[in-house]
Homo-oligomer: A and B are copies of this chain.
Amino acid sequence: METDLSNMIPLYAGSSQKYDTVCIFGTGDFGRSLGCKMMQCGYSVVFGSRNPQASSLLPKGAEVLSHREAAQKASIIILAIHRDHYEFLTGLTDVLEGKVLVDVSNNLKINQYPESNAEFLAELIPKAEVVKAFNTVSAWALQSGTLDASRQVFICGNDHKSKEMVVDIVRALGLTPLDQGTLLASKEVENYPLQLFPMWRLPMYIATGLTVCIFLYCLLTDVIYTYVSDGRDISFRIAISIPNKVFPIVSLILLGLVYLPGLIASILQLYRGTKYSRFPNWLDHWMLCRKQLGLVALAFAFLHVLYTLIIPTRYYVRWHRGNSIINQIKKNETSPFETKSAWRTDSYMALGMLGFLFYVILGITSLPSVSNVVNWREFRFVQSKLGYLTLLLCTGHTLIFGWNKFLDVSRYRWYLPLPYMLSLVIPCIVLVIKFVLIMPCVDKTITQIRQGWERNPKSAKQSTFKNGKIAV
């Protein structure tokens, strides 16, 4: 639908100008696409080119002049040229005075230059007002109308008026302007389109690392052990059985890691007796990527559910069940029904499925459009209360699944702990600490600290505020 409507702005056909004239320096791909789109939206566009006669492929109706002439025709100049060519602008300082220069440039690498392109430009032409914008928009998307992502245009600049002018253009093009503050933000804005899921990196590394380790561990204690001790080849378990051990273990560990940093932070605050001192950087970073950690954990839980539900359809399982029945008949003995086993297996399955429901609810609440319509108290309720409930259910699921297996020596292979035991360490620690922290006496102190109270007010200095970000 959206695509449809963004597409519908027609070629402006009226004779009178509805919008101002805009000048674009550079007749490359992006300059042309932007110019074409702006003309469709009713702007009149003048291109500035080194070689006005030779420029082909420009949208019909656009004027092409020399840089100097073009610049004189408009109060806004969009620079669709590479940073490397900015130097020539110094020759135009006189005509650029007081104009709004819109820097749309992108680099090839994150932090390629010491200062951002926009700041570089602002130093070059100090008398012009530089605004950074449009660098997050794809030329291809502008042309083809398939703007699914990157409808948002980040804008920053030191002059309020100039920013407003650019904001108006952005709105007229059907895009969403997002004011990012002064030019100091331009470095971040320039890095933004080069990023590839930066907040997901750490969680993905952790998840991958865990998956590999636990996979190898299970391979060792399962396939390799059986081969070495019995000489049997059960390598086919690599496809489903072993992954279905790895997924829940990784998922539970990750879920524990989601709730651990909050506890460490609380303990640190309790210990320091104040919240006005920075956390160590690793803790800060860890806390900021909990959402991503949680979602990766959810993906693993999702796989675990699928891999579990497919079990009875598997050839191996069907063969095995048939075989055990045949054996029972041959030996003419029937295994009696054990109510305890029924209780145990049904309970851990029930806990697991309830846990998965809350897992999914956590995931849904983390969708931006959902978290936007709940208030802070509601969001914390879901993420913190339901989150701990999820952790509790999933830990319970694993504990009951394990039951008394850990007592059974025959199950230990090469004296190694059973795989499921690995997954329980962190969640159990988290739950125990949480249990201690919500004891009324401890909880009261934490709440006080978080409301700004301090044990030794002297020790905390104003300077903690310096970095613009304080301990949370």
Contacts and interface: CB of A to CB of B under 8 A. Distances in A.
Contact of A452 (B28, B303, B353, B360): B28
Contact of A325 (B39, B316, B326, B464): B326
B1 A373 contact: yes
Interface stretch (A10-18, A203-211, A252-260): A10-18
Contacts of A57: 276, 457, 460, 462, 464-465
Interface in A187-228: 188-189, 192-199
Interface stretch (A84-92, A93-101, A136-144, A410-418): A136-144
A357 B303 contact: yes
A287 interface: yes
What are the 5 closest A-B residue pairs judged by CB atoms, nearest first? A149-B379, A369-B369, A239-B346, A144-B472, A29-B452
22 contacts: A3-B288, A9-B181, A10-B468, A14-B158, A18-B182, A29-B452, A56-B462, A57-B464, A60-B465, A137-B376, A146-B288, A235-B339, A240-B346, A240-B350, A305-B306, A306-B353, A314-B346, A315-B345, A322-B324, A329-B329, A368-B369, A369-B369
Contact of A145 (B288, B349, B377): B288
Contact of A150 (B195, B376, B450, B468): B376
Contact of A12 (B144, B152, B182, B326): B182
Interface stretch (A68-76, A172-180, A401-409, A423-431): A172-180
A181 B372 contact: no
* Interface range, A side: 35 or more
A315 B346 contact: yes
Contact of A342 (B192, B196, B236, B357): B236
A46 interface: no
Interface string A439-458: 00000000000111000010
A66 to B, nearest CB: 19
B236 A343 contact: yes
A365 to B, nearest CB: 9
A103 to B, nearest CB: 17
B367 A369 contact: yes
Contacts of A460: 56-57
B322 A326 contact: no
A324 B195 CA distance: 57
A371 B148 contact: yes
A470 B373 contact: no
A286 interface: no
A309 interface: yes
Contacts of A132: none
A462 B148 CA distance: 28
A59 interface: yes
A107 to B, nearest CB: 13
A347 to B, nearest CB: 5
A334 B341 contact: no
